[in-house]
Amino acid sequence: MSVNMKSQSIITGYLFAIGATAIWSGNFIVARGLHDSIPPVSLAFFRWLVAGIALTPFAIKNLIEEWPIIKKHPVYFAITSFLGITTFNTLIYFAAQTTTAMNLSLIAITFPIFIILLSRILYKEVLTVKKAIGIILVLTGVLFLITKGNFSILLDISFNIGDVWMLIAAIVFSVYSLFLKNKPEQISIKSLQLSTFILGLIFLLPFFIWEQAATPATIFTATSVGAILYIGLFASLGAFFLWNNAIIILGPSKAGMVYYALPVFCGLLAHLFLDENVRLLHLYSMVLIFSGIVITNHEPKKSN
């Protein structure tokens, strides 16, 4: 590959990564924007229902062919589906009931830190001083955000419950990501997606039925239907396609660094569509979190 073609390929990779991150930021805007009109479990159910229907024509053949392998790993697929589909985004939508889209996105990008901590606990991976410093900075940034800069609030445990739900969601996503690392080799991405969509919806169904019975009937408008289609088609499938191609071109580390720009996109969209203000509190938290993530993930170039 010529230098010019390689340069164009790298630019394309970054555009894919930026596109995926921008689309994902819209999920937080939708979550916050619809928090008064569609209850959280229902929003999650509708999202994965749309995503599952859209994916089925492209993945059903793979799922049928690989079904014998899937049946051999029932525990893996059950846990992966419950964490990634049933629980993760449902927690985000619960969090959006009481906190801002900006807070959601800032806390969401902490999941790599929890992966490092869990890898240390579960797999005994070495925790270097540099990673420890990075983790401390990230956690400080998160605490600064959820306490609004007043750390004494921690003594009374009276900070925003939405921020806590989002923090739990980030931990759930980190566990889910560790499970993805152990995916059975014979299973394709399409089969993994469709099978987890279906199982996740089955697990979510009882909670959906309960919520529908316990809350006023959901009134669908053009805005809410459009928002559900957005998170079902674009945030669930379109962003995934862009992200996979970004990883193929750039590698996971470089693509991952683009994902950390999520709060930037989210802050801009929240300001434009939700009239949320980006305050110094958010900027300070962002600096702490970004610095910690960069320090944790930075690997010095090896000398020849």
Domain boundaries, the chain: 3-297
Spacing of C-alpha 286 from chain mean position:
17
Q: Please tell me which residue, 155 or 21, carries the higher pLDDT value.
A: 21
Can you tell me whether residue 7 is helix, strand or coil?
Answer: helix
**What confidence category does residue 156 fall into, taking pLDDT thresholds of 50, 70 and 90?**
low
Predicted confidence at residue 1, as pLDDT, reads 52
pLDDT single digits (tens) 118-149: 777 776 766 677 777 877 787 777 677 666 67
Rounded (10°) angle between helices 189-214 and 74-81: 50
Q: Give yes or no for residue 304 having a pLDDT over 60.
A: no
Rounded distance between C-alpha atoms, residue 215 and residue 62, angstroms: 38
